[in-house]
Copies of this chain bind each other. A is one copy, B any other.
Amino acid sequence: MLIVMKQGATKEKIDGIIKMAEKRGYMARPIPGGDRVSIGILYNKGSVDAGHFLGLAGVKEVIPVTKPYKLVSREVQQDNTIVKIGDAVFGNGSLPVIAGPCAIESEDQALAIAKAVKKAGAQLFRGGAFKPRTSPYSFQGLGRQGLEILAKVRKETGLPVVTEIMDIEHFDMVEEYADLAQIGTRNMQNFSLLKRAGKSSIPVMLKRGMSATLEEWLMAAEYIMEEGNEQVILCERGVRTFVRHSRNTLDLSVILAVKKESHLPVIVDPSHAAGVRDQVMPLAFASSAVGADGLMIEVHHKPEEALSDGAQSLYPVQFELLMEKVNKIHDLTCAAAGEKS
């Protein structure tokens, strides 16, 4: 950490800060600049809380250098984390695709869609049993009945299933049925839920919060890993910006930044970023091109009758085309991606 002193800060003030740092167990050394003195915190193991120095007399700014994450960091683990679920492998350079409806509505619906996405090449089936909805008056999901339908889908199609988990009290139930537990955008910093996920026996997909920084996202994954669950997949789904022509703004740079900072696999959900069907396919192409470790796509056989998010769900025939193209793009670009690192 670098503690930047105000211009003209007296030797007394500088010494005061150094003493305070030493009192907290750090080694501190003054670094003279052209206009002012900075104080470096040296040889610290782990990150230092900026709040300890911000606002003290003579201090102008505090600049953190060490990242606060450990277990998720590529500096701690250089090799990619590999998450295997059924035949799908996340993190080994392949492009597994998760597909299915926003919400499980009925057995017929789920099966029809699952068969269609399997045929097109999807390796996991998704469908919500518990739905986080902005409005209490919107369809909230079928609950346990939805999970039972997911189990039936897996039995009939062989596809592993992914579903969202919204609270601790339903975690056992979801673990019983799902192959991959999704923690949604709104719960990215629900720390109690993260800790419970850290004790889970199944892998966890952690979606990025609506306005989460890279660091906050990785720290949320750190909560899960710290409790012992190392099978974490990150999922970018767009961030909130001033933009209005898409529901969220898909941040593809974050894929590159995650791969640099962390060994965890990171996939993209273009459906929730887009919010409208037209944009899903091209954004999926772009996600594949940028080097994502997987995709999650909403598909519905009758989007115009869907109980939620119909407007962003692809028709099965569109999904087939998508699969064909994203795989070809992946083949083309993965070589280049290899050369980058």
User: Complex formed: what's the CA distance from A311 to B62 in Å?
Assistant: 11
Q: Which of B43, B53, B260 contacts A34 (CB 8 A)?
A: B43
User: Complex formed: what's the CA distance from A279 to B169 in Å?
Assistant: 41
Verify if A337 is at the interface (C-beta below 8 Å from B). Answer: yes
Q: Which residues of B contact A216 (CB under 8 A)?
A: 134
The answer to whether A277 touches B55 (Cβ under 8 A) is: yes
The answer to whether B66 touches A34 (Cβ under 8 A) is: yes
Q: Which of B4, B42, B52, B189 contacts A32 (CB 8 A)?
A: B42
Interface of A is mostly: mixed
Knowing A55-B310, A290-B282, A290-B286, say if A132 contacts B191 (CB, 8 Å): yes
The answer to whether A337 touches B282 (Cβ under 8 A) is: yes
The answer to whether A244 touches B328 (Cβ under 8 A) is: no
**Size of chain A's interface in residues, with CB distance under 8 A?**
118
The answer to whether B168 touches A213 (Cβ under 8 A) is: no
User: Complex formed: what's the CA distance from A312 to B193 in Å?
Assistant: 28
User: Complex formed: what's the CA distance from A338 to B306 in Å?
Assistant: 27
Chain B residue, CB-CB nearest to A288: B289
Q: Which residues of B contact A279 (CB under 8 A)?
A: 253, 256-257
Residue-wise interface mask of A (49-71) relative to B, using a CB-CB cutoff of 8 A (1 in contact, 0 not): 11111111000010101101100
User: Complex formed: what's the CA distance from A326 to B18 in Å?
Assistant: 37
Knowing A222-B135, A311-B50, say if A253 contacts B256 (CB, 8 Å): no
A121 to nearest B CB, angstroms? 16
Residue-wise interface mask of A (188-204) relative to B, using a CB-CB cutoff of 8 A (1 in contact, 0 not): 11111100000000000
A338 to nearest B CB, angstroms? 11
The answer to whether B245 touches A257 (Cβ under 8 A) is: yes
Additional A-B contact list (6), CB under 8 Å, known A50-B311, A186-B189, A187-B190: A33-B41, A54-B310, A55-B310, A256-B283, A260-B278, A288-B289
Which 4 pairs from chain A and chain B are nearest by CB? A54-B311, A246-B253, A167-B192, A186-B189
* 18 A-B residue pairs with CB within 8 Å: A8-B75, A29-B31, A35-B45, A46-B137, A55-B277, A55-B312, A56-B304, A68-B137, A135-B219, A169-B169, A186-B188, A246-B253, A250-B253, A255-B282, A256-B278, A256-B283, A278-B340, A282-B340
Q: Give the interface of A toward B (CB within 8 A).
A: 2, 4, 7-8, 20, 29, 31-36, 38, 40-47, 49-56, 61, 63, 65-66, 68-69, 75, 132-138, 166-169, 186-193, 209-211, 213-216, 219, 222-223, 226, 239-246, 249-257, 260, 273-274, 276-279, 281-283, 285-291, 303-304, 306, 308-312, 321, 325, 328-329, 332-333, 336-337, 339-340
